[in-house]
Each structure stands twice: as structure tokens, then as C-alpha cells.
Structure 1
Amino acid sequence: MNPLPTACKDEVVLTLPTILLPGLGIPASAWNNVKAHVPNAYATDRLDSHSPLSLEGQVNRVIEFMDDRDIDQAQLVAHSMASFIGEAACRLHPERFTRLILVDGSYEERRKACLRIPIEKLIPHATLRAIVQEWRCYSFWANELREIQRSHPLRTRTVVIAAYACRPGRWVRKLRRQAQQLSALFVPMKGSHRLMLDRPEAIAALIREDPPQAQRHDGYAL
């Protein structure tokens, strides 16, 4: 798919497609306010009981989503637990992604694997069951990503966004460390964990690479 031309004053800006991945238990519709400011954006939804449990299976699902829409290259924006998917996708398929933006992404150093316990009888609702299944895969995905990191370097330009409520604390310092490890641009942003709902215009500005927004957020020079 060719980039879409969008008017910007007297110029024509070519905008690559943007793939938006929601976090655990969050519907694709949570990205609607961001999409209103980003042309050619697509939000995926993983809230179904047939979602693959492996991290690589989730990556393949993103690639299939792109192939079904004839998208050759795109920016990839991943929120929360979907950051595992986003980083793995860019490492495994660097030719498909021009930039990776991790929105308050999961960054835990959990080593112990979660137990795989059948929950079909405990939770009859398919969507809730899918959420619980995915949550139980958290440590599996973290460990799977760690293996991918060892064998596949990250060549995609990356932005790490960290949410904070009042002032930056331990969590922001942790994501700053992640940004350093990924050689990424680090952006602390005031708001709740669901930044796409709290700060849609700021998120969209980073996706569009709007220079003023990309250089300074909430008083923090980058």
C-alpha cells in the first residue's frame, strides 16, 4: 500500500500507515481519538477467545492484519502489554516497520512462568476468558521476548512513552532505563496508564513526528 498524501498548509506530506495495538483488556475503539488526528491509522483488536497464546503467534497476527490490507510498511504503536508484541514484531520483521512507539509499555523483569490452567468452565464469557488467558501469558511473553532480543537486534527507530500522575517516580525511571537499552527517544507524559484516552493529541503528535511536540512534553526537555 502506498503512503496517503495529506494536506499540510501548502505542502503534501506522505504518511505511512500506522498500526495501533491496544493493551490487555482494552478494545481497539480506545484509539479512536488518536485516529482522529492521524491519517491512515488502523487499530487491531485482540479481544477474542481464538487469540494465539504465544508472542510469536501474536506477531504473526499483526503481519496477517497488514497483509490483508496490502500494507507493506507501517509505523507500529503498542500500548501496555502489547509492547511485547510491538517490540517482537519489529525485531522479527524489521523490513515491515519504520518506527515503533511504546505507550507506557510493560517492562517487567519477571522470570517465573505463569501456570496454564483451563478456565473455560470458570469463565464462560469468551472476551473475559481471552483477557485472563492473555494475562496468564504475561511472563511467557516476557521470557519469549527476552529470547528474541538475544537473536534479533532492534533496528527500528523507537519512542518510549512513560505515563505519570503527579510527578515522575519509580515507574518513569524504569521506562527511562528501557529507552536507554533500546536506544530510544524517551518521552515522560502526564496522564493515566490509558494515555490514548487522556492525551490523544499528544500521542498523535508523536506519531506524526510534529517537531514541537516531539521535542518537549510537560516541561521535560528531551
Structure 2
Amino acid sequence: MSAEPRPPGRMLRVGKVALHVLREGSGPVCVLSAGLGMGWFDWEPVVPLLTPYRTVVRFDRPGLGFSAPAGEVPSAAGEADRIAGVLDALGLTGPATIVGHSLAGFHGEAFARLHPERAAGLVLVDSSVEENARALPARELRAAAARARAATLAATGLPLAVGPAARRLFVRAGSVKRQDPAPADLVRRTYGSGRVARAVLLENAHYRDVAAELEELRARHPLPPLPVTVLAASPGTGSWLERRWLQRQRALAERLDARFEAVAPAGHLLMYDRPQAIAAAVLATPFIRP
């Protein structure tokens, strides 16, 4: 019987939450933050391409990976402040390039708007896009319902029975390679826990709220003059859905005055399909020294 995998990073208290944080490499700082319900190990194909040239920081958001859960519900400002808190906890007070995938694209943009002096660049990796987003009602009730569903699942043992398989299906559906390279024991340890199930349900329940909050931040906090790149996944099917997605990603780039690049062939999980494209975008971002 194999030993249980242990967190490879450090457990650092950021705010009121113990977060699993990894710092690797040397040089200018970049932070990698993955999409809804994903963890530090989803960046594994990208990290070795960056560490010879960058200090690479990864962390698990509350409840995900090996991080402890948080009491508050997810928010754009909260996640922006969390990125700043992780950097503070590591003693990295200078500017950093933020790489946000999917939902974390909201977080990265919010960081740049709320902490402009600490943002050296922004790389949005097939970022979530919600035009004219509106917050849903009963935020706290939805949070309570998500926690109750997670508690019920944990009590029945379903996270261990279903969570790892659901993770595998999600990754295979989001990658043109149709496989999940993450170690099976690591997937079982994380996605088989009720803690991670609760975090995934909470992030999903408040997705619209985070999108709407970002719209408000855009109105109040201008984006600082920094290099921004939007990488959009293009599976190469030529379907209407793909064309529409690329159109929305291009519109996001125009809104942020960003460089746009369609990466093909690739699914939503660009870090697995085209890690070289992400690394190239980070390394091409001019580093602004304080």
C-alpha cells in the first residue's frame, strides 16, 4: 500500500486561513492561479519551463488542494487580497506577473486593479468572460446551501467515491489530449475529500457574484499601465461554439488593451495542452522593477 502524498509546499497562514503555498525558481516573480476547483498540481507542465528564469509561486485557494477551508464566501476582492497576502507571507513585496486561468482570470484582473503597484503584468489563460454580469440574490443562503450539500456528500462518503472520477472526466473533457496526467493517489487525496468538494461547490455557487463584482471594480479602479496577454484555447473544430468563444476572448483583450493570441490545438486546460504557450507569454512580459 503506497504512502499518502504529503503537501510538497509550505503551509502558510494568510489572513485567517492556512494555505498550501509553493515557491520555486529564481528571478522576477510570477504567480500561477488555476481555475474553478483546481489545484497547485495543475500547473506542473508549466513550472519547469519558468523556474530557470522566474520565481514561480503557486497556492491552493481555501479548501482546494491541501489548503484549509475559509469562513468567508469567495469574492473577487478577497481573492485579489489573498494573492497579495501569499506574496507578503513569502516576503515577496515587489511587483509580480499574475497568471490567471479560467475563473482565476477574474482574480488576477482584480489584483491588478486593487494592487496596481504590485502588478508587473497579467496573463489571462482562457479566462472566464461574463458580459453584463449580475450578482444573484441570497448570497449567504446560497453559501449555506453549498456547505450543507457538501456536508451531506461527506457524510455519505460520496466525495471519495465520485470526486476523483469527476475530476478525471473534467480534465479529459477540457484537454485535447483527453487524459489527466496528475498522479492518481494525489487526485484521490484531494478530490476525494469533503473539504475540496465544499470548496468546489462554493466557488461554483458564487461564480456570478465574482463576475459581477469584477464589473464593479472595472468601473471604480482603472487597470494600471501594464502588459496584458489574453491566451484563448482553440481546439480547431471550427464549430460555432469555438468561433463564439474566440470572439469573446478577443473582445476581452480589446477591453483590456491586451495582446490576443489564439492557441491551437488546445482545450480549456491550456496548461496541459500547450504549456509552452503559457510560459512564452510569461517570459515575453517585460518585468517592471520597483
**Alignment TM-score > 0.5, same fold:** yes
| Corresponding residue number in structure 1 for 2:147 | 120
Matches of 1:68 and 1:161, distance apart in 2: 29
- Give deviations 1:128-151, integer Å, cap 9, x for gaps: 111111111111111111111011
* Equivalent runs, 1:95-174 vs 2, <5 Å: 95-109=117-131, 110-113=133-136, 115-116=138-139, 117=142, 118=144, 119-124=146-151, 125-155=194-224, 156-166=226-236, 167=238, 169-174=243-248
- Give deviations 1:60-93, integer Å, cap 9, x for gaps: 1111100011112211000000111100100111
- C-alpha displacement of 1:121: 3.0
* Equivalent runs, 1:69-88 vs 2, <5 Å: 69-71=90-92, 72-88=94-110
Shift of the 31–180 alpha-carbon distance from structure 1 to 2, 3 Å rule, reads same
- C-alpha displacement of 1:181: 0.7
- C-alpha displacement of 1:111: 2.1
Query: How does the TM-score come out when normalised to structure 2?
Result: 0.65
| Corresponding residue number in structure 1 for 2:259 | 185
Amino acid aligned to 1:165: P
Matches of 2:86 and 2:134, distance apart in 1: 31
Structure 1 stretches of at least 4 aligned residues deviating more than 4 Å after TM superposition: none
- After alignment, is 105-114 or 60-69 more displaced? 105-114
Matches of 2:273 and 2:213, distance apart in 1: 31
- Give deviations 1:145-199, integer Å, cap 9, x for gaps: 1111011111122101110111451100111011001000001012010001111
Matches of 2:138 and 2:261, distance apart in 1: 35
Matched-pair identity in %: 34
Query: How does the TM-score come out when normalised to structure 1?
Result: 0.84
- C-alpha displacement of 1:103: 0.2
Shift of the 68–163 alpha-carbon distance from structure 1 to 2, 3 Å rule, reads same
Aligned partner of residue 37 in structure 2, secondary structure: coil
Correspondence 1:37 to 2:49: yes
Matches of 2:245 and 2:259, distance apart in 1: 16
The 8 Å contact of residues 114 and 138 in structure 1, kept in 2 or not, is answered as: no
Higher strand fraction (1 or 2): 1
RMSD, aligned α-carbons? 2.1
Aligned partner of residue 77 in structure 1, secondary structure: strand
Correspondence 1:18 to 2:40: no
Structure 2: gaps (5+ residues):
1-23, 64-68, 152-193, 286-290
| Corresponding residue number in structure 2 for 1:46 | 61
Matches of 1:51 and 1:81, distance apart in 2: 20
The 8 Å contact of residues 25 and 56 in structure 2, kept in 1 or not, is answered as: no
Aligned partner of residue 33 in structure 1, secondary structure: coil
The 8 Å contact of residues 47 and 131 in structure 1, kept in 2 or not, is answered as: no
Structure 1: gaps (5+ residues):
7-14, 211-222
Higher helix fraction (1 or 2): 2
- C-alpha displacement of 1:34: 0.5
- C-alpha displacement of 1:112: 4.8
Matches of 1:196 and 1:114, distance apart in 2: 34
Amino acid aligned to 1:183: D
Shift of the 25–5 alpha-carbon distance from structure 1 to 2, 3 Å rule, reads closer
Matches of 2:206 and 2:254, distance apart in 1: 26
Matches of 2:134 and 2:148, distance apart in 1: 28
Q: Which has the higher contact order (CA 8 A, sep 6+)?
A: 2
Aligned partner of residue 123 in structure 1, secondary structure: helix
Aligned partner of residue 122 in structure 2, secondary structure: strand
- After alignment, is 103-112 or 58-67 more displaced? 103-112
